[in-house]
Amino acid sequence: MRLILDDGTELEGVSFGANRAVRGEVVFNTGMSGYVETLTDPSYRGQILVMTYPSIGNYGVPGDRCAQSIAGPFESSRIQVQGLIVQSYSESFSHHRAQRSLGDWLKSQGIPGICRIDTRFLTRHLREAGTMPGHLLQDCGPHSLASSATAVDMTTEVFRQVAPATTHRYEGGRQTVLLVDVGAKDNIVRSLLDRGVSVLRAPWHADLLSYWPEVDGVLIGNGPGDPANLWELTDQVKEMLRRADKPVFGICLGNQILALAAGAKTFKLPYGHRGLNQPVQDLLTRRSFITSQNHGYAVDNDTLPHGWEPWFVNINDGTNEGIRSRRQPFFGVQFHPEATPGPTDTAYLFDDFVNQL
């Protein structure tokens, strides 16, 4: 199997997943563990994922969960990535919850995987040249077969692929949070239920304002793609902010949608922030945290309107990691306070949100 980037870079490896050709944006994740959670994160929809940690697969994969379940460690009902690239794949696994190998899991869902790739070289190349589209191709086919590789439309179609078909309610307490699902991770639901509130999980393209009378607050979840393509959702969030009578909290893509609704702009990062070790600083308290992140876009601080301010900053590159309104209970963070397997340094943000309902 071969990886061929759009700039002509070609790397050859060994297949350990499904036998099919795919195309997607090639991105890297710096996490040392958590590949089950990462591969099922809907924010990776349409992307070919490079794991920078050299050995992957050693603890296997749990068995499938029941239909409609939101049980961990899975973050959604299926693998979301287009393909997986690792350096050293471990076919043998050892974990008390494991029921199958990573390779068998990939094959069962039609996801190609390639190993024996120099992921250090590949990561350095993506850092210097920026993330870019590429193909995973079988050795038996010429380069011309790249035109038939499966790809995901990364405009509006990708958002509909990761959103639920219908609205679902999870009972957890007297108060109710409307979770706007653009590919929200299941642990966002679990985090809210753990804090004694019910969750009304609705697809982003639903008439969200029709639920306004029955909810106490709104959480806009994470998801894939360019937030500028979600103008329909942004218009609905603008109306929520105009009503100004309930707290609105954005996570990852939700932070960007909140910023667009407020009147700010977003931009694409050269290679994004993806991993479990991203440092951020709270600009109000000056306290620093290690966070889990998965995004390729960021809010432009210079475009935030009057009454809004940056809340968190990425210590590595100075980009925005959160925004807040100075007057109303509207706030968002670019990182994931619900992160599993961790870090959980910023889980307190759910407590702060629930306390404002």
Series of mean pLDDT values for 10-residue runs along the chain (357 residues): 96 95 96 94 96 96 92 95 97 95 97 97 96 88 62 85 96 97 97 98 97 97 96 97 95 98 98 94 98 97 98 98 97 95 92 97
3-class SS of residue 257 = helix
d(CA 210, CA 107): 41
Burial of 243 (0-12, 13-18, 19+ CB in 10 A): exposed
**Kindly report the CA angle at 209 between 320 and 250, in degrees rounded to 5?**
15
pLDDT of residue 147: 61
pLDDT of residue 142: 55
CA separation, residue 150 to residues 45, 109, 111, 207 (Å): 13, 14, 11, 32
pLDDT of residue 194: 97
35 Cβ contact list (under 8 Å, min separation 6): 51, 56, 57, 102
3-class SS of residue 347 = coil
Domains along the chain with CATH numbers = 2-152 (3.50.30.20), 158-355 (3.40.50.880)
pLDDT of residue 151: 85
* 168 has catalytic annotation: no
Q: What tens digit of pLDDT does each residue of 291-338 get?
A: 999 999 999 999 999 999 999 999 999 999 999 999 999 999 999 999
Cα 282 versus chain centre, distance:
21
Structure tokens belonging to residue 248: 């609105």
* 338 has catalytic annotation: yes
Structural contact between residues 180 and 202, judged by C-beta atoms closer than 8 angstroms: yes
The residue annotated as part of the active site, out of 125, 135, 295, 336, is 336
d(CA 325, CA 329): 7
pLDDT of residue 116: 97
Phi, psi dihedral angles at 197 (to 5 degrees): -125, 155
The residue annotated as part of the active site, out of 25, 75, 321, 338, is 338
pLDDT of residue 143: 56
pLDDT of residue 150: 84
* 95 has catalytic annotation: no
The residue annotated as part of the active site, out of 252, 273, 295, 321, is 252
pLDDT of residue 64: 92
